[in-house]
Amino acid sequence: MSAQSEESARTKLKIDQVSKNFGGVKAVTQVSLDVPEGTIFSIIGPNGAGKTTLLNMVSGFYHPDEGSILLDSQDVTRRKPNERARLGIARTFQNIALFQGLSVLENLMLGRHVHMTSGVLASFLYWGPAQREEVVHRRRVEEIIDFLKLADLRQQPAGELAYGLRKRVELGRALAVDPTLLLLDEPMAGMNQEEKEEMVRYVLDVNEEFGTTIVLIEHDMGVVMDISDYVAVLDQGEKIAEGVPDAVRADPTVIEAYLGADHE
């Protein structure tokens, strides 16, 4: 696993004492995490533990009420989502957020918008220098389409694809940002076993071949324990455990949190 390499010693993402409240509800309370570069770092916990809220603070969708978020030692706590994307943060969503009427290729091209100087509309309509720029971005998108084995579907509207393929296209759109930090919010939710196994392979390939640091939220504990370098556990908005998978799996506090969730 990449956690064993020397390069992994550098902190890619530092979450320092972040909190987020919605009205009187404490969604996340003083959570700190250090995500080493080049690793797969999973965040697990019962429903309502604050996992997606934490991911939303990293991507910029929410700003924390307290605490700070650093990417490569740069404070991004108050940066907008598009600014964070330019710095190398991309994410997928628990509920698929593709443009259903656009083709696979067009959805992935939209993922390139953070790198476009001519604008998305100009790129699609081939206005002036946008045509030259589009060629460069199209080449990168075609590489991702090949990587995800979507070549035969590149012109297919996303809304016509099977669920598992739509999840793969969403991963492709995130990869089109060329992220150095990829946030995956339950990428295997709703998939059958074969689709899960395919997605796991792609997640591992993105990490190993591209060197992309991945923060993963996933309910399938088998998947989490198999592919993660590190695991953090949230419960009711607080971090209750963190470490390598075997240590987290054996932690009595973690076992109690999951048994409690199972008996609700």
Same domain, residue pair 36 and 104: no
Instruction: Tell me whether residue 24 is in a domain.
Output: yes
Low-confidence ranges of the chain (pLDDT < 70): 1-9, 115-134, 259-264
How is residue 6 written in tokens?
């020397």
What's the confidence (pLDDT) of residue 264?
A: 37
Q: pLDDT per residue over 126-150, tens digit each?
A: 545 555 566 777 888 999 999 999 9
Same domain, residue pair 81 and 195: yes
Range of the domain at 137: 99-178
User: Percent helix, strand, coil in the chain (nearest 5)?
Assistant: 45, 25, 30
Instruction: Tell me whether residue 193 is in a domain.
Output: yes
Whole-angstrom Cα distance, residue 236 to residue 242? 15
Give CB contacts under 8 A, 24+ apart, made by 251-260.
Answer: 257/45, 257/46, 257/233, 258/46, 260/46
What's the confidence (pLDDT) of residue 134?
A: 66
One-letter amino acid at 53 equals T
What's the confidence (pLDDT) of residue 97?
A: 75
CATH number, domain with residue 205: 3.40.50.300
Instruction: Tell me whether residue 106 is in a domain.
Output: yes
Beta strands 11-22; 238-243: pairing state:
unpaired
Same domain, residue pair 200 and 128: no
Same domain, residue pair 250 and 262: yes
One-letter amino acid at 79 equals R
What's the confidence (pLDDT) of residue 8?
A: 42
Number of domains in the chain: 2
Of 150, 178, 206, at which residue does a domain stop?
178
Q: Name the nearest CA neighbour of 248 among 224, 264, 220.
A: 224
Instruction: Tell me whether residue 81 is in a domain.
Output: yes
Contact 47, 264 (CB under 8 A): no
What's the confidence (pLDDT) of residue 157?
A: 94
Same domain, residue pair 109 and 162: yes
Instruction: Tell me whether residue 94 is in a domain.
Output: no
Beta strands 25-36; 74-75: pairing state:
unpaired
Instruction: Tell me whether residue 187 is in a domain.
Output: yes
One-letter amino acid at 170 equals E
Whole-angstrom Cα distance, residue 117 to residue 123? 9
What's the confidence (pLDDT) of residue 5?
A: 44
One-letter amino acid at 178 equals D
Instruction: Tell me whether residue 93 is in a domain.
Output: no
> DSSP secondary-structure letter at 74?
E
Same domain, residue pair 196 and 80: yes
Please name the residue that has the structure tokens 């090949």.
146
Same domain, residue pair 194 and 256: yes
Instruction: Tell me whether residue 111 is in a domain.
Output: yes
Same domain, residue pair 210 and 260: yes
What's the confidence (pLDDT) of residue 138?
A: 85
Segments in 72-152 forming alpha helices (H): 81-86, 104-111, 120-125, 130-147
Whole-angstrom Cα distance, residue 86 to residue 112? 10
Q: Name the nearest CA neighbour of 24 among 84, 83, 65.
A: 65
